[in-house]
Structure 1
Amino acid sequence: MKISLHHTLLCLVIISGFLASCSVSRVSSERKFPAKQLKEDFSIFQGALEESHPSLYWFTPKEKMDAAFSEVYSHLNDSMTERQFRTHLLKVITSIRCGHTSINYSKRFSRYLDTAGLKLFPLGFKVWKDTLAVTANLNRKDSIFRRGTVVKSINNYSSKQLIDTFFNYITGDGYSQAGRYQTLSTFGTFGVLYKNVLGLTDSFAITYVTPEGSDAVATIPVYKPVKDSVEVSDSLKPEKYSQRDRRTLRRFSTRHVQVDTSLNSAYMLLNTFSTGTNLRKFFRTSFKNIDRLGLKHLVIDVRSNGGGEAGNSTLLTQYLTDHKFKVGDSLYAVKRSSKYRDYIKFQPIYWLITSVITHKRSDGNFHFGYYERHTFRPFKKHHFDGSIYILTGGNSFSATTLFAQELKGQKNVTIVGEETGGGAYGNTAWIIPELTLPNTRLRVGIPKFRFVMRRELVKEGRGVMPDVFAAPTAKDIQKGIDVKLEAVKALIIKANEANQAVMMK
């Protein structure tokens, strides 16, 4: 039988594609790497951190970091999956106490996880101290574990045991606890850590607090995703929204301003300082309109702002600050190049950038002098001089912390909410090269610059503390009450009443 070359090649492509897809599923989920390869990867992982991370010993003494490296290395005597190896490395990353240092799965394994339909822990929680309050449940027909239900134990692990255990695998800046609680509260994080650290079972015996206040136990099954079972009630499908509509909706979810004339106030939601969001124009237009309306109160909500470009956070600060300021005390890298360059994506570009923007000083470090020397001044045009309320929380991170800390203590500024996840003292970030381990292909983000914003705050190592603390209880979660926004509203009403009383005299 004669078969054309075209058909032969087509069959080979189809067969190879099928085998590749099967291989991805099988290898990505089950493949174990021999101890020799794990040790090779670990040596590169440790060496790169010790060589280039400028804050490896900022909050953890060298002897403790050495012990963390040794403890993980001692477990590498048998083969492991990528998931298992990454979980071990996370313990080292967490010990550094730097929220910008990360370790991610290989691209291949990440693609597998996106489509694998693996079993999942079904509940999500708002986490604080020793408390777990349900915020989400994948088992939609479950009538017990509704929003706000307090869980006291899972499979005989108390809530405190679970939180303390998972904290060993959650990165964060310095000694800020709010950021770690918020990370664990992000839906999916608790379940992933439960699976990776403790292992999933087919069911979970959960002790919870009933609406009457007594303890009870219920057993729920593990969640098994069914392909195409999720109904999307409101998506951004092309047939439902135009391209312009989708852009508008995305911008609105990222940043917008709402005006309440009854309270003489504006509410600015700002979920990022990233580039590509046209924030310069947004700030200019927003403050022009606020000035035109003569509003006396401005609420800036950065609770979900994980940071971005320091230039954007500085720009916003200039519309609000009443004094000249420098962004920080020092900003420097300890290395320009790396002997692990073969494993670092875009290493020549990082070398070129740091060679251009930094200069070696007598301390042996490579300083980025612009932010150390430059003084920024308040804007005169459309500058806001009324009362400012900044909403913060555990997700307020990186450049957001720069913004909040610079304004903290100003007489017309009140910070409301919880401690920021980002350090008030500074951070380690700015340029974050990605190192890929050669065997497992795990990707390690190692920030290159140490930024000291307030050197006197380094020892304490905390986030920006609120002037007015406001955090939800289980009942608030159950009722859907935004306690931070309600706290700000009460402050504005009180201020307006006081001003009205003065005017009536």
Structure 2
Amino acid sequence: MMIFKNIIVFILFLLFCNSYAQNKFLYPLQKGNSKVILKPGNNLNPISNEPLFNNGYFISATYGTPVFAVDDGIISAVTKFVICSPDLKWLSMSNTIQGFKNQSIKYGKNKKWFREENVMGMVSIKLKDGTNIHYLGLISNDTTLITGIKIKKGDIIGRVGYFRVISKEPCIQITLSTIKGAVADIGIPLFGVNNHFEKLIKNGSQKLIFTSLELKDAFKIFRESLEEGHPALYFNTSKTEFDSIFSSIEKKINNPMSLQKFNSLLMPIVAKIGCSHTYLSYLIPPKLKYYFPLWLSFVEGRCIVIDSKDGKNIIPKGSEIIAIDNKPIKEIINAMKIFMFNDVQTDEWKEQQLLKPNWFQNYFICANNDEIKSSYMFKIITPNKQVKEITLNSYTETTYPKNPIIPKIIKEQEDELKFSRINNDIAYLSIQTCDFYDNLKIEIELIVDSIIKEDKKNLIVDLRYNKGGSDISFLSKLFINKYFDNIEYKMVKRNDKYSFFKYSLNYSENDILFQEYNKIVGKEGYWKIILNDSTDTIRNKQYFKGKIYVLTGAGEQSYGTVLATLLYKAGAIIVGEETGGNYYSVNAESFAQVKLGITDIVLNLPLTRVIFNSTIDSQIPYNRGLIPNYKISKTINSILKDEDNQLDYCIQLISKN
């Protein structure tokens, strides 16, 4: 067992340009649904929102996707059980489960992230010139590789698992180190070209200002990719309206502007599509000079201070913000709503999104050209009804709290699985993913089997922050013992080559994906009809026969909503808020990551529309989310007191029945 402190050492790319400029490495994942989610440099940790220096590339892909050796070499290290800290400065490794358990006993009390679900695997390959390629985030205890064996470019060295302290999505981290131990970055800017990538000389473009010609070229790629590839571009907004929007935005690109400003022009267009899977991201997120000082929540129609990040509370918790820099809060909220993208587009859903302090902060940044000012003047009404004006400085990297306050309402979004026995009759199971990797499946099955054995009469299934995934049949088999005869249609825009794939980061220009799809007379696009196999939704083992209550919310997306709907159809009672995803259709399964010209902006573009042919239900209105049987909203008091009033209501409801 080994512990390495300060393992991340940054060195200039140019030290290695001569060594690697001509070396082409095989892209480490299969073609398809993979994307770079973090590039080297100063970033924010996507989970904790804390400043992070990363020297490697994080690439997300479907759980279990094979990972390839990028070049010939020798296996220099295989570690089956690895834990890494959120700041990437602390690493614990062991090749035995007992070693991991001993380490967790030693350090776990002081390191809350030191948990079994954060374990991953690591493989290192030593190349001919003495450098090492390191892969982290592999499925733990999954590889049969041993140290010292030869390996060829393209050999499978593991499968994509989770790097949970960095991403909720399955992902790997890949880095390159020299024989002397210093770490250099391995670049992936060209991995869509011939399925290869080269050593990167600099981090993307890193340009501060782009010319109007460069941005018009990027905008052209953006528009043409959407029009050619998106299967539901005109589902919520007509072609006529989109043509008008595209034209008006293009006219605004007549002067040089920053990447952030250009991104702020594109995001309202994306929001108009009404699709949670269509969004923009940066290859290299622009470095924030400042960080917002407060956690704010829009709840009960008011903007409330939930906490300060340093705990000093110069502005008292519970204060209402009525203006920021003399701009009324209503005006600020309306500006933020323009940037909000999702399947469900109601005002109510948008306000539910802004209830979460971390989402409020993200949309506030979007509405301000991805920038935070050095200070803000807040006009407030204190809890004792005094009206005050208080100016707060924003944080810098050096002043940002080392252990910032994180409100409970943010923390409760992070755990994929939680279980508790509320009393003799009620069990609580929180599941916030539909990507069920092997260890998670085993754990959930053990929980459900224990509930059945204990003869619990009621089960609360919490899906409020379930973002979806690729597998709903696994969980439905544990709770549903009948088949719902839904015919599933899949639709794409073309069944031959997409011309915009020449700009794609995860497909090559000649890839053809949907040859098995066919034209249907009178319908746009190409279609595939799939009759679900009834055996697919029936569990072979014993299933839970008690009463199920499902907690839902605006953070529930994609197949998370489909799962909740299947439980509802099986007789479950729905409590909470309308889901963020809709049931009858979802744009999912296949995605292209399209790089917009010379900029570092990437368009995540779904290529497949999945349509469920089901009878319209009053609880499942068309183009809306699943409507709860009992609508219960979060309150100011419940958030400030770290209480869960929705769960409390559900428990009371069960007790009454």
TM normalised by structure 1 equals 0.80
Displacement of 1:284 in angstroms is: 2.8
* 2:292 aligned with 1:290: no
Deviations 1:130-185, CA, capped at 9 Å, x for gaps: 42122342343233232x33222212222221111111111111324455335434
Which residue is equivalent to 1:241?
Answer: none
Which residue is equivalent to 2:338?
Answer: 168
Which residue is equivalent to 1:154?
Answer: 324
Contact 2:587–2:610 (CA under 8 A) maintained in structure 1: yes
More relative contact order, 1 or 2 (CA 8 Å, 6+ apart): 1
Contact 1:119–1:222 (CA under 8 A) maintained in structure 2: yes
Partner Cα distance (1:284, 1:196) in 2: 41
Displacement of 1:340 in angstroms is: 1.1
Contact 2:550–2:575 (CA under 8 A) maintained in structure 1: yes
Which residue among 606, 615, 628 is the counterpart of 1:466?
Answer: 628
Contact 1:59–1:174 (CA under 8 A) maintained in structure 2: no
Distance 1:328 1:221, change over 3 A: farther
Distance 1:185 1:335, change over 3 A: farther
* 2:377 aligned with 1:205: yes
Contact 2:300–2:635 (CA under 8 A) maintained in structure 1: no
Contact 1:124–1:185 (CA under 8 A) maintained in structure 2: no
Which residue among 95, 104, 117 is the counterpart of 2:272?
Answer: 95
Partner Cα distance (1:37, 1:179) in 2: 36
Displacement of 1:331 in angstroms is: 2.0
Query: What does 1:72-471 align with in structure 2 at a 5 Å threshold?
Result: 72-105=249-282, 107=283, 109-110=284-285, 113=287, 118-128=289-299, 130-146=301-317, 148-177=318-347, 179-198=349-368, 200-226=372-398, 230-231=402-403, 253-260=415-422, 262-276=423-437, 278-309=439-470, 311=471, 313-321=472-480, 323-326=482-485, 329-336=488-495, 337-348=497-508, 351=511, 353-355=513-515, 358-362=517-521, 363=523, 365-370=525-530, 372-375=531-534, 376-379=536-539, 381-411=541-571, 413-453=572-612, 454=614, 456=616, 460-471=622-633
Opposite residue 650 of structure 2, the aligned amino acid is V
Contact 2:552–2:574 (CA under 8 A) maintained in structure 1: yes
Opposite residue 300 of structure 1, the aligned amino acid is V
Distance 1:184 1:419, change over 3 A: same
Which one is further off, 179-188 or 379-388? Answer: 179-188
TM normalised by structure 2 equals 0.63
More helix by share: 1
Contact 1:287–1:382 (CA under 8 A) maintained in structure 2: no
Contact 1:418–1:471 (CA under 8 A) maintained in structure 2: yes
Which residue is equivalent to 1:33?
Answer: 210
Percent identity (aligned): 23
Partner Cα distance (2:307, 2:375) in 1: 17
Partner Cα distance (1:434, 1:12) in 2: 28
Displacement of 1:220 in angstroms is: 1.9
Contact 1:121–1:194 (CA under 8 A) maintained in structure 2: no
Which residue is equivalent to 1:13?
Answer: 15
Distance 1:232 1:210, change over 3 A: closer
Contact 1:129–1:160 (CA under 8 A) maintained in structure 2: no
Displacement of 1:254 in angstroms is: 1.8
Contact 2:339–2:366 (CA under 8 A) maintained in structure 1: no
Partner Cα distance (1:408, 1:172) in 2: 22
Which secondary structure does the structure 2 equivalent of 1:430 belong to? Answer: strand
Which residue is equivalent to 2:182?
Answer: none
Partner Cα distance (1:203, 1:287) in 2: 50
Partner Cα distance (1:389, 1:155) in 2: 44
Opposite residue 215 of structure 1, the aligned amino acid is V
Which secondary structure does the structure 2 equivalent of 1:304 belong to? Answer: coil
* 2:641 aligned with 1:482: no
Which secondary structure does the structure 1 equivalent of 2:219 belong to? Answer: helix
Partner Cα distance (1:475, 1:176) in 2: 25
Work out the number of aligned pairs and report it.
Answer: 454
Distance 1:172 1:316, change over 3 A: same
Contact 1:428–1:448 (CA under 8 A) maintained in structure 2: yes
Opposite residue 330 of structure 2, the aligned amino acid is K
More strand by share: 2
Which one is further off, 153-162 or 455-464? Answer: 455-464
Opposite residue 324 of structure 1, the aligned amino acid is Y
Which secondary structure does the structure 2 equivalent of 1:487 belong to? Answer: helix
Which secondary structure does the structure 1 equivalent of 2:563 belong to? Answer: helix
Opposite residue 119 of structure 1, the aligned amino acid is Y
Partner Cα distance (2:382, 2:475) in 1: 46
Displacement of 1:233 in angstroms is: 11
* 2:52 aligned with 1:50: no
Distance 1:175 1:188, change over 3 A: closer
Deviations 1:20-75, CA, capped at 9 Å, x for gaps: 989979973x6211001101111111001001101100011111111221221111
Which secondary structure does the structure 2 equivalent of 1:69 belong to? Answer: helix
Which secondary structure does the structure 2 equivalent of 1:134 belong to? Answer: strand
Contact 1:427–1:450 (CA under 8 A) maintained in structure 2: yes
Distance 1:129 1:263, change over 3 A: same
Opposite residue 484 of structure 2, the aligned amino acid is F
Partner Cα distance (2:235, 2:425) in 1: 45
Distance 1:86 1:207, change over 3 A: same
Partner Cα distance (1:445, 1:279) in 2: 28
Opposite residue 101 of structure 1, the aligned amino acid is T
Gaps of at least 5 residues in structure 1 are 1-9, 235-251, 496-505
